[in-house]
């Protein structure tokens, strides 16, 4: 964080560490689901057998497909896809059940991505679901289905709208342009208020597409808009991607203070440690294939993350006070990719046994373990082991002056009590001492497993 504080008029609106119930619920989620669904799901990153993999930045960016393979007048074809959007397999209750079984506690849903097509019957744009054969309010169906499963819903909203004539990338250069952009800003505000009116049970927004200069220069408007949204929906949770301060600083203002209630910068990457954290809340959003959030028909030749990869990222995230959000991209008929179904099942099987090491936990201030990740909740300390030691000894480094040390341990997988003994091996004489948790040789696990430890006076 900068040492010299500077004057910031359009800085944070909410305190850095909100303690209200909604924010407490946010920091306890642990695992979430992202769903990117929209017109881009119809092509699925290809068109008439031709892959857009090299022609577009990502599957949900396929409208921007350029290059020799791009179909002629592709943008027009894309902008007319809504005329065929009629997902016959769309079953939001099934999606919600799958998410529940996977162990997701919240879900972020794309109401409108950069192509501007609204999945709800907005009265502020004709480019919306009522004009598609499907007609019905997809956002409502999804919100209701997930809420019915006890899963909180956050609405993804893209400010960027590629096909909106009033959208500006660069800051407006004259009065006429400013007038047009002001119309766009008002349109954006209208849609956000409309979403809060129509879906009052949502817990927050996940904003995106806020990186262009015109929006960045509109810091007074966005500051006031955030205030108005919060006034309209008490407890609303807004991430750090929504706006910037008057110096153009995004995510964190010019004094390094977070602009919003949670940091949204961890997209397809994870922090390596907590040195950046500064007590902030955050989420990490992750795709299963490489960069593609919308449906991709063809995963061949791509590294798609395994269940073990995802569990490792999940535990790395929650061990540093974050929420891990796994992205699903249903196809144009509303079906999840078979690879997503498989992962959801396997993650869910693991969570059924080990979720107490994930939900409502916090970072543990102990020397990091070579075996996996620590999480703690109240008096319980968990070590999720990904790297099983060949000697079956899970060695726990404890600061020499610690008031409490591990006194008992149990395997979450089978409830087996484990021997715990002091191993004063003097590895780093003046800093830590060590306690060994002995793993039974006959205990086998084909996935990460959790040691739950009880602490007490040495």
Distance CA 71, CA 73 (A): 6
CB-nearer residue toward ligand FHN: 58 or 448: 58
CB atoms closer than 10 angstroms to residue 360: 17
User: Biggest alpha carbon distance in the chain?
Assistant: 76
Segment near ligand FHN (CB under 6 A), from 56-64, 136-144, 242-250, 432-440?
Answer: 56-64
Q: How far is the CB of 130 from ligand FHN (least distance, A)?
A: 24
Q: How far is the CB of 33 from ligand FHN (least distance, A)?
A: 13
- Dihedral (C-alpha) 198, 199, 203, 204: value to the nearest 10 degrees? -50
Binders of ligand FHN in range 342-401 (CB under 6 A) = none
Size of the site for ligand FHN (CB under 6 A): 7
Contacts of 245 (CB under 8 A, 6+ apart): 8, 9, 10, 11, 219, 253, 254, 259
Q: Which of 249, 285, 252 is nearest to 269 (CA)?
A: 285
Distance CA 171, CA 384 (A): 49
Per residue, the 3-state secondary structure of 330-342, as one string, reads CCCCCCCCHHHHH
Query: What mask, x for binding ligand FHN by CB under 6 A, covers residues 248 to 277?
Result: -------------------x----------
3-class secondary-structure state, position 356? helix
**Which residue do the tokens 């209200």 mark?**
20
Q: Is 60 in the site for ligand FHN (CB under 6 A)?
A: yes
| Helix (H) / strand (E) containing 112 | strand 106-112
Q: Which DSSP letter does residue 375 get?
A: E
Segment near ligand FHN (CB under 6 A), from 7-15, 55-63, 302-310, 362-370?
Answer: 55-63
Q: Is 293 in the site for ligand FHN (CB under 6 A)?
A: yes
| Helix (H) / strand (E) containing 220 | helix 219-232
Helix boundaries (H) for 199-302: 213-217, 219-232
Q: Name the phi and psi angles at 314, rounded to 5.
A: -60, -50
CB 383 within 8 A of CB 398: no
Q: How far is the CB of 165 from ligand FHN (least distance, A)?
A: 21
CB-nearer residue toward ligand FHN: 111 or 222: 111
Report residue 93 as tokens.
Answer: 């209750």
Q: How far is the CB of 185 from ligand FHN (least distance, A)?
A: 20
Query: What mask, x for binding ligand FHN by CB under 6 A, covers residues 136 to 165?
Result: ------------------------------
Q: Is 208 in the site for ligand FHN (CB under 6 A)?
A: yes
CB-nearer residue toward ligand FHN: 60 or 263: 60
Q: How far is the CB of 327 from ligand FHN (least distance, A)?
A: 7
Q: How far is the CB of 270 from ligand FHN (least distance, A)?
A: 14
CB-nearer residue toward ligand FHN: 237 or 405: 237
CB-nearer residue toward ligand FHN: 56 or 361: 56
Distance CA 166, CA 55 (A): 26
Q: How far is the CB of 6 from ligand FHN (least distance, A)?
A: 27
Q: What is the DSSP string of 416-439?
A: -EE-EEE----TTTTTEEEEEEEP
Q: How far is the CB of 104 from ligand FHN (least distance, A)?
A: 16
Q: How far is the CB of 442 from ligand FHN (least distance, A)?
A: 44
CB-nearer residue toward ligand FHN: 58 or 453: 58
Q: How far is the CB of 309 from ligand FHN (least distance, A)?
A: 18
Segment near ligand FHN (CB under 6 A), from 2-10, 58-66, 413-421, 438-446?
Answer: 58-66
CB-nearer residue toward ligand FHN: 268 or 400: 268
Q: Is 226 in the site for ligand FHN (CB under 6 A)?
A: no
Contacts of 33 (CB under 8 A, 6+ apart): 99, 102, 104, 106, 107, 108, 151, 325, 326, 327, 328
Q: Is 283 in the site for ligand FHN (CB under 6 A)?
A: no
Distance CA 161, CA 184 (A): 10
Binding site for ligand FHN (CB under 6 A): 58, 60-61, 208, 267, 285, 293
């Amino acid at each position: 964080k900068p040492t010299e504080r500077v004057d910031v008029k359009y800085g944070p609106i909410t305190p850095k560490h909100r303690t209200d119930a909604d924010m407490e619920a946010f920091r306890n989620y642990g695992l979430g689901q992202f769903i990117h669904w929209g017109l881009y799901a119809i092509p699925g990153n290809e068109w008439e057998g031709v892959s857009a993999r090299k022609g577009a930045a990502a599957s949900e960016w396929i409208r921007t497909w350029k290059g020799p393979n791009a179909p002629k007048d592709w943008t027009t074809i894309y902008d007319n896809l809504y005329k065929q959007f009629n997902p016959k397999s769309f079953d939001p209750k099934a999606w919600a059940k799958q998410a529940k079984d996977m162990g997701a506690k919240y879900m972020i849903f794309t109401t409108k991505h950069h192509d501007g097509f609204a999945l709800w019957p907005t009265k502020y744009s004709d480019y919306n679901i009522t004009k598609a054969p499907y007609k019905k309010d997809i956002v409502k169906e999804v919100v209701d289905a997930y809420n019915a499963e006890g899963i909180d819903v956050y609405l993804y909203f893209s400010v960027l709208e590629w096909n909106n004539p009033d959208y500006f990338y660069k800051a407006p250069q004259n009065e006429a342009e400013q007038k047009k952009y002001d119309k766009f800003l008002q349109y954006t505000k209208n849609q956000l208020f409309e979403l809060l009116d129509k879906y009052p049970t949502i817990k927050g927004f996940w904003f995106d597409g806020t990186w262009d200069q015109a929006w960045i220069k509109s810091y007074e408007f966005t500051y006031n808009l955030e205030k108005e949204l919060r006034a309209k929906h008490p407890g609303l949770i807004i991430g750090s991607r929504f706006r910037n301060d008057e110096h153009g600083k995004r995510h964190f203002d010019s004094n390094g203070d977070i602009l919003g209630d949670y940091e949204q910068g961890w997209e397809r990457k994870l922090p390596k440690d907590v040195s950046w954290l500064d007590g902030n809340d955050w989420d990490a959003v992750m795709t299963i294939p490489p960069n593609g959030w919308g449906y991709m028909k063809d995963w061949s030749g791509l590294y798609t993350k395994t269940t073990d990869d995802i569990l490792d990222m999940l535990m790395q995230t929650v061990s540093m006070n974050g929420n891990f959000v796994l992205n699903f991209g249903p196809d144009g008929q509303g079906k999840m990719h078979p690879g997503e179904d498989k992962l959801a099942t396997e993650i869910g099987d693991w969570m059924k046994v080990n979720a107490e090491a994930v939900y409502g936990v916090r970072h543990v201030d102990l020397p990091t373990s070579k075996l996996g990740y620590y999480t703690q909740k109240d008096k319980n300390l968990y070590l999720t082991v990904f790297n099983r030691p060949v000697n079956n000894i899970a060695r726990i480094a404890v600061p020499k002056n610690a008031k409490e040390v591990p006194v008992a341990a149990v395997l979450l997988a089978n409830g087996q009590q484990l021997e715990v003994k002091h191993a004063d091996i003097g590895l780093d004489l003046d800093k830590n001492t060590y306690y060994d948790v002995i793993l039974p040789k006959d205990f086998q696990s084909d996935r990460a497993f959790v040691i739950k430890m009880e602490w007490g006076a040495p």
